[in-house]
Amino acid sequence: LVQVGTPPELTAAPADPFVATLTGANLLFGVAREHGDGLTEVLLDSGARVYSSDRGVGRVGVAVPAWEVTVSRTPPSDSSLNHLTAPISSVFRLGNRARVRIGPLTAEVTAASVDRLRLAEGDLVVASFKATATRVVPLG
């Protein structure tokens, strides 16, 4: 037994990478350090940097639910601190929703958004998510 809690509790504070993936979150790995503004900066293994409102230092996992990831053609001018630019590797439609794979992330968006943005495999897009939606997951 790794962690006991309701689905929302497990999603909000996964105890380890297994629980994070069980909730369906994207899971990335890197090295965390305090950023000085109350945020944690994580240098991902890919070289990208992301920020979390969770505390963490050292080697960590970073969990981001797919429904918290937005997709755009250019970096948005909004409150999202985290932006990863990568090509789309797949678009899977399921009814009025779609799962879009962008580099190491999966975004869950509406089918209408896929149509409006004309998203297709190979397109270079920006996946964005807020620091408050980014969970720092302890390793080991």
- The closest alpha carbon to 45, from 32, 64, 63, belongs to 32
Per-residue pLDDT at 46: 94
Q: Tell me: the pLDDT tens digits for 56-86?
A: 999 999 999 999 999 999 999 999 999 999 9
Of 47, 44, 67, 46, the C-alpha closest to 56 is 44
Residues contacting residue 118 through CB under 8 Å, at least 6 positions apart: none
The C-alpha atoms of residue 68 and residue 59 are separated, in whole angstroms, by 23
pLDDT computed for residue 74 by the predictor:
95
Task: Look at residue 60 in the predicted model and tell me its pLDDT.
Answer: 97
The CATH fold assigned to 7-138 is OB fold (Dihydrolipoamide Acetyltransferase, E2P) (2.40.50)
Residues of the chain with pLDDT under 50: none
Domain extents for the chain?
7-138
Q: In which residue are the tokens 């994070």 written?
A: 20
pTM recorded for the entire structure: 0.90
